[in-house]
Amino acid sequence: GALVAMVAVKGLFGGIGKNFANPAITARIVMFLAFSKSMTAWVFPDAVSSATPLAMMANGESVDYLTLLLGNHGGCLGETSALALLIGFAYLLIRGVISWHTPVCFVGTVFVMSLILGQDAVGQILSGGLMLGAIFMATDYSTTPSTDWGRVLFGIGAGLLTVLIRFYGAYAEGVSFAILFMNILTPYLSRWTETKPFGGVAA
């Protein structure tokens, strides 16, 4: 995974700031496709295997929201505690490191579409890699649009793709695939939403 992220995604395209896709997301997808069993089987500290909340909801089971907030469930490193991720979001927002546009539109789209499709909307936004992806992956400055409206469209598009994969795809989680796809569209979103000077001529 590290080799894919540092060499294939970042190094071959010129280094920091020149990669077209998020290195961590791309590496995670490669690892997921190559070692899907190891990447989707979770074990609690007591060595008892357990399904992830997304898998439970896909099977029609209910999930405890407090457990999702505190992170006492199976999942990838860094994605289990929604509360910790929200604290991280607030910190980055206050420090001006990221903008609110992509994370809010990303999570909001998943919430609204889950409601429309009759799913557990709260459970969907608190589980899986949605919070981690929306806050820390979809805000990467070099792989997301440079305009506010571009970031809004990026978030909405990623949210729609996540819902599509979660509810109708072969995998329980679709955040990584959604972000990678929107990374590819980033140059076009930036261009389409770029503010033209008054009286200027389009290039």
Average pLDDT, the chain: 80
75: left (phi over 0), alpha (psi -120 to 50) or beta: left
What is the distance between the alpha carbons of residues 20 and 9, in angstroms, rounded to a whole number?
Answer: 8
Mean pLDDT, rounded, for 56-64: 77
Question: What's the one-letter identity of residue 43?
Answer: V
Instruction: Please list the alpha-helical segments (H only) found in the chain.
Output: 2-3, 23-34, 36-40, 53-58, 65-70, 82-94, 101-116, 121-126, 130-132, 148-168, 175-192
> Looking at residue 87, what is its pLDDT?
95
Dump pLDDT digits (tens) for 162-172.
999 999 987 77
Domain positions in the chain are 41-192
Cα 68 to the chain's mean position, in Å? 17
pTM: 0.80
Contact between residue 140 and residue 97 where contact means Cβ atoms under 8 Å apart: no
Token pair 């080799």 in the structure block, residue: 3
For the stretch 118-163, pLDDT in tens is 999 998 999 888 999 999 989 988 888 989 999 999 999 999 999 9
